Amino acid sequence: MAIQMSVAVRTARLDTVESTIGTAAVLKIYDLTAGAPADCAAAITGTVLATMTLPSDWMNAASAGSKTKLGTWQDASADDAGTADFFRLFASDGTTCHMQGTCGQGTGDLQLDNTSITAGQSVTVTAFTLTDGNA
């Protein structure tokens, strides 16, 4: 039998994600030239396309084993041009990585309004959901 957790435990684990990363979390979107890093500790070999400081309360409260973005996640003026395919979520210092995943338009771990980014354009996250195990 696989380990099973109550909804209350899954919800508490998800709510801890936001409190651990903290307020004013920084989201960076990348165009990677050498594939995605193995984990958050690995070096990035790509271009930062967009950088956004997330709202102070950037995730909705967890419910039934999942947690979704809260508020507007947007960079009004993209840093560089390229195809968005990867993101990292950092503490407010912009250097302590806590999470990473894929980007897409209607797909991926983090969904964008457009993955073909030009420098200076607005970039908006349209959907982001974390789902805990056993949900």
Residue spans of the domains in the chain: they are: 7-131
- Cα→Cα distances 133→2, 7, 17, 55, 126, Å: 11, 10, 14, 26, 23
- 42-80 pLDDT, tens digit per residue, is 998 889 999 999 999 999 999 988 999 999 999 999 999
Residue 78: count other Cβ atoms within 10 Å of its Cβ: 22
Say what the pTM is: 0.93
CB distance 11 to 65 below 8 Å: yes
Take residue 66 and report the two structure tokens written for it.
């999942």
- 76-126 pLDDT, tens digit per residue, is 999 999 999 999 999 999 999 999 999 999 999 999 999 999 999 999 999
